[in-house]
């Protein structure tokens, strides 16, 4: 095993705590240093996780023992922090999105190119056991060529009044839907040629941006994808839970499903039913036949491993940095997903199909 590394976590809010927990669990991490301008939060985190915290970022930037920095701060700080940390010679894992506009995202790519450093974005759904299994089925040819993918996501309002999310000038597309658009690019395994996106009037009136989207993608290979997102309808307590009671969560208005249609079969991933299924199509005597060939379910205790697997993503990133290896998901690939997000915003604002190569 390579030597252990020291890491830092910037931003100790909801996501930052998840990053601290993963760092505590990582066999590749020695010391953990946290920084958050909210002093009470910082002190609470130091106490809860037995980590050191500092009062300003420079203490981390000037600490030559810190090899890797996890950035879990509000979206409008991602670009500047990534640049400062990378120019201080440290590896970076930054939460999505890559800033709030395309210029921000491009700057992150440029900084990585200029410094030659390690930079991976937090698209942890690529480490989800559920989506990784779907991808494995696709790559093994079990559903033939992917021609169409649908994602249906109905969520509770979990951003809250007067928070940085509700007030953000950036839309929910980069902030939230980038994960699911990234999955669609990953499943189709081709680049998006153009995007057409529309949204309806808001239900959540205190948002500074739309709360619903219908995003259509057309890939160069002819495949298409649709993502339908509505932040209303579920019965919930406002925290977008994977509810305890299976019967209720599968029937109360929460949906997060992908349907992946191939030439030889199909796949369904269903977060709220904790289930994924695979269909096989065969050429029957009377016509094309279809049967469900495989069903996988997972227990509540494993929700986060099967869905938002930040835990394994972060442990893996600490291993890569400790071993001097490059990122598993390159920043240029993540940039392609961010381009799709920003193209969808342009499409909505200008009511037209947007070709990615015009951005």
Ligand X SMILES: NC(=O)c1ccc[n+]([C@@H]2O[C@H](COP(=O)([O-])OP(=O)(O)OC[C@H]3O[C@@H](n4cnc5c(N)ncnc54)[C@H](O)[C@@H]3O)[C@@H](O)[C@H]2O)c1
User: Which of 4, 15, 147, 353 contacts ligand X by CB under 6 A?
Assistant: 15
Question: Which are the contacts of 356, defined by CB distance < 8 A and separation ≥ 6?
Answer: 191, 192, 193, 194, 195, 339, 340, 343
Long-range contacts of 313-317 (CB under 8 A, 24+ apart): 313/22, 313/122, 313/124, 313/126, 313/127, 314/19, 314/22, 314/23, 314/26, 314/70, 314/93, 315/22, 315/25, 315/26, 315/27, 315/28, 316/127, 317/68, 317/91, 317/93, 317/120
Stretch that binds ligand X, among 30-38, 222-230, 294-302, 342-350 (CB under 6 A): 30-38
> With binding defined as CB under 6 A, does residue 37 bind ligand X?
yes
User: Which of 21, 59, 77, 145 contacts ligand X by CB under 6 A?
Assistant: 77
Q: Do the Cβ atoms of 53 and 79 come closer than 8 Å?
A: no
> With binding defined as CB under 6 A, does residue 36 bind ligand X?
yes
Q: Which of 331, 333, 319, 313 is nearest to 116 (CA)?
A: 331
Stretch that binds ligand X, among 73-81, 241-249, 267-275, 339-347 (CB under 6 A): 73-81
For residue 31, CA distances in Å to 34, 87, 94, 155, 330 come to 10, 21, 19, 37, 26
Q: How far is the CB of 305 from ligand X (least distance, A)?
A: 14
> With binding defined as CB under 6 A, does residue 51 bind ligand X?
no
User: Which of 8, 10, 130, 177 contacts ligand X by CB under 6 A?
Assistant: 10
Q: How far is the CB of 97 from ligand X (least distance, A)?
A: 7
Build a one-symbol-per-residue string for 109-138: x at contacts with ligand X by CB under 6 A, - elsewhere. -------------x-x--------------
> With binding defined as CB under 6 A, does residue 11 bind ligand X?
yes
Pairing of strands 66-71, 5-10: parallel
Our CB check for ligand X shows the closer of 222 and 238 to be 238
Q: How far is the CB of 272 from ligand X (least distance, A)?
A: 16
> With binding defined as CB under 6 A, does residue 96 bind ligand X?
yes
Q: For CA atoms 232, 154, 98, 42, give the dihedral sign.
A: positive
Residues numbered 285 to 344 that lie near ligand X (CB under 6 A) are 308
Q: Do the Cβ atoms of 247 and 239 come closer than 8 Å?
A: no
Phi, psi (deg, nearest 5) at residue 224: -130, 155
Q: How far is the CB of 94 from ligand X (least distance, A)?
A: 8
> With binding defined as CB under 6 A, does residue 75 bind ligand X?
yes
Q: How far is the CB of 69 from ligand X (least distance, A)?
A: 10
Closest CB to ligand X: residue number: 13
- By CB under 6 A, name the binding residues for ligand X: 10-16, 35-38, 41, 72-75, 77, 95-96, 122, 124, 175, 308
């Amino acid at each position: 095993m390579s030597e252990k590394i020291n890491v830092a976590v910037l931003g100790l809010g909801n996501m930052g705590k998840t990053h601290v927990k993963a760092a505590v669990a990582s066999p590749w991490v020695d010391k953990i240093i946290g920084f958050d301008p909210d002093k009470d939060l910082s002190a609470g985190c130091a106490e809860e996780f037995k980590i050191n915290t500092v009062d300003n970022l420079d203490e981390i930037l000037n600490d030559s023992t810190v090899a890797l920095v996890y950035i879990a701060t509000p979206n409008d700080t991602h670009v500047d922090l990534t640049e400062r940390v990378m120019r201080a010679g440290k590896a970076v894992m930054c939460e999505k999105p890559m800033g709030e506009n395309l210029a921000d995202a491009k700057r992150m790519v440029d900084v990585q190119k200029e410094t030659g450093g390690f930079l991976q974005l937090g698209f942890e759904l690529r480490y989800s056991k559920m989506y990784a299994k779907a991808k494995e089925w696709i790559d093994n040819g079990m559903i033939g060529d992917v021609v169409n993918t649908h994602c249906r996501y109905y969520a509770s309002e979990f951003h809250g009044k007067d928070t940085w999310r509700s007030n953000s000038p950036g839309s929910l597309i980069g902030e939230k839907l980038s994960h699911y658009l990234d999955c669609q690019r990953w499943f189709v395994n081709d680049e998006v040629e153009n995007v057409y996106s529309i949204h309806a009037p808001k239900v959540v009136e205190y948002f500074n941006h739309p709360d619903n989207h219908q995003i259509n993608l057309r890939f160069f290979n002819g495949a298409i994808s649709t993502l339908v997102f509505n932040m209303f309808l579920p019965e919930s307590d406002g925290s977008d839970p994977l509810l305890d009671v299976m019967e209720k969560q599968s029937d109360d208005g929460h949906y997060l499903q992908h349907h992946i249609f191939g030439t030889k079969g199909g796949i369904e991933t269903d977060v709220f039913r904790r289930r994924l299924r695979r269909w096989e199509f065969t050429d029957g005597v009377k016509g094309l036949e279809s049967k469900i060939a495989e069903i996988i379910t997972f227990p509540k205790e494993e929700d986060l491993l099967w869905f938002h697997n930040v835990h394994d993503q972060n442990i893996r990133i600490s291993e890569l940095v400790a071993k001097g290896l490059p990122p598993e998901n390159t920043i240029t690939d993540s940039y392609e997903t961010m381009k799709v997000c920003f193209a969808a915003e342009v499409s909505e604002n200008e009511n037209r199909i947007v070709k990615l190569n015009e951005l």
